[in-house]
Amino acid sequence: MERRRHPPRHAGHMDRACRDAWDARAGQEARADSADRVLGVPGTRRPSGLARGAPRLTRPTPMEIPAYEREAFEDEISQTIAQDIGTFVRLSRQSGQRGHALVNAGQCGVVDENRQEDGWIARLVARYQLDATPLFLHTPEAAAAGVGPWLVELPSMAEAADASPWLHDLARGAGAVHALSLVASPLRPVTLAAHLRSWLDAVIPPDPALDDDEAVGAVLRWFDPRIGFDMVIRWPDDVRQDFLSAFTWAGWNAEFHPHGLRCSKPFAPRSAARTAPLRLDKDLLLAMAPLNRADALLAHVHDRFGSPVFQHIAPALQRWIALDQLQAVQRLGLNDFENWITLLHQSLSLHPELPQLPGLAKNWVDTRAAGRTLAHVLEAQPAEWWQQQQNAAPRTWAQWASRFLAPLQARRGTPDAAHAFSALFSDAPAVA
């Protein structure tokens, strides 16, 4: 197969949008359209503006929980992630392994493609003199190495070192935006990097239903923690075990609850570097296709209405809402993509409990039966209704933020031996 690639859609495109679990190489526009069909994403059209002005989320309200403020919200997340990282590093060292951060650099702020050495992860590595390897180096994607996955060796640390500046910078800059996962391995960093690098390559075989179709080279996005763990779980068991044979892998789900994977065979770490691209047959493509649906939906909303409109909402909270709203539209049977866009846009502009409002859900179902859209339902609401939602917004956002943060705050101070990550280093059989 001819290896024709273009630099991955990175930074403000691929990594923010998270459009596919793989990145098609050059000359494969037709197959990219096919992937969109698998995702169930038809063409879009620009709707009329529905938002009646974003609420001021920080205004004082008579309630018993703190008002939502993005900076305070992200500080709470970062504190917990920093402690989680410290726990992981100590558990790694106690088991005779090195701890590493796997950072999807393109998610960590906007990067100038011509000045990738000035990207956030490059500056972090230089500031704290950390050993790091951009995994796209020595691959056809080398031109995009600065915004691809980076493997960063983490310093050994005692419990008292949880306040280390590098730790909090890593937690805030990468962890809080779902760009970070953690790797433990006894292998030398150069060997581990070579193992991981060999698992970037994939190939989509020709579709027998298409005349003159060709195989498509692809870059697997397992390094994106938003979809990576769920992607690997869907791989065939023998493939997954080979991938995990060199390391133990940990991270966080959309709500920052710890989770992880390790090889389920007796632990004898070894590199199982691939010598050929991973074949993505139709069943595997279909299994992986839905993984990024909420992230793709959120990216479409940002592209259509402009990211600055939502700057007051932390990225982690936006993603949580996107996942919740996707479930809501599926429950209501609102399968049209424009309905998805409308609901998420309004949920971010007003508040995220729109699907639960009395009477509104029934109107949506009735409107769907009449062949109309969700936009028609919202446009028909009187001015008093919109004002009620504006008035309810501060308390609603505060409640959602409080509900999101409560488990993270409760986890702080958990001893290493009782932390969820400790199960990854126990002698008990692992599930991978």
**Predicted confidence (pLDDT) per residue in 212-247, tens digit:** 888 899 999 999 999 999 999 999 999 999 999 999
141 has a pLDDT exceeding 60: yes
Q: How many Cα atoms sit within 13 Å of 100 on the Cβ side?
A: 29
Expressed as residue numbers, the domain containing 125 is 70-289
4 located within any domain: no
Q: The whole model's pTM is what?
A: 0.83
Number of domains in the chain: 1
109 located within any domain: yes
Confidence at 14, pLDDT banded by 50, 70, 90? very low
Alpha helices in 267-314 (DSSP H): 282-288, 293-305
108 located within any domain: yes
For 258, other C-beta atoms within 10 Å of its C-beta total 21
317 located within any domain: no
Rounded to the nearest 10 degrees, what angle do helices 383-411 and 315-332 cross at?
A: 120
22 has a pLDDT exceeding 90: no
Average pLDDT over the chain, rounded to whole?
Answer: 82
Which residues make Cβ contacts (< 8 Å) with residue 221, sequence separation at least 6?
18, 20, 21, 22, 23, 227, 228, 231
How confident is the model over 361-397, as pLDDT tens digits?
Answer: 777 777 766 777 888 888 888 899 899 999 999 999 9
Chain centroid, CA 1 distance in Å: 31
428 located within any domain: no
E-assigned strand segments in 159-256: 180-185, 201-204, 216-220, 248-252
Confidence at 33, pLDDT banded by 50, 70, 90? very low
How confident is the model at residue 268, as a pLDDT? Answer: 76
How confident is the model at residue 119, as a pLDDT? Answer: 84
Q: How many Cα atoms sit within 13 Å of 258 on the Cβ side?
A: 22
How many whole angstroms separate alpha carbon 23 and alpha carbon 221? 7
Residue showing tokens 């409080």? 402
324 located within any domain: no
Report in angstroms the alpha-carbon separations of 146 from 111, 221, 387.
8, 15, 46
145 located within any domain: yes
Would residue 225 be called left, alpha or beta, if left means φ above 0 and alpha means ψ between -120 and 50 degrees?
A: alpha
Confidence at 313, pLDDT banded by 50, 70, 90? very high
183 located within any domain: yes
How confident is the model at residue 115, as a pLDDT? Answer: 61
* pLDDT, mean of residues 262-280: 86
How confident is the model at residue 258, as a pLDDT? Answer: 98
3 has a pLDDT exceeding 90: no
* pLDDT, mean of residues 176-187: 97
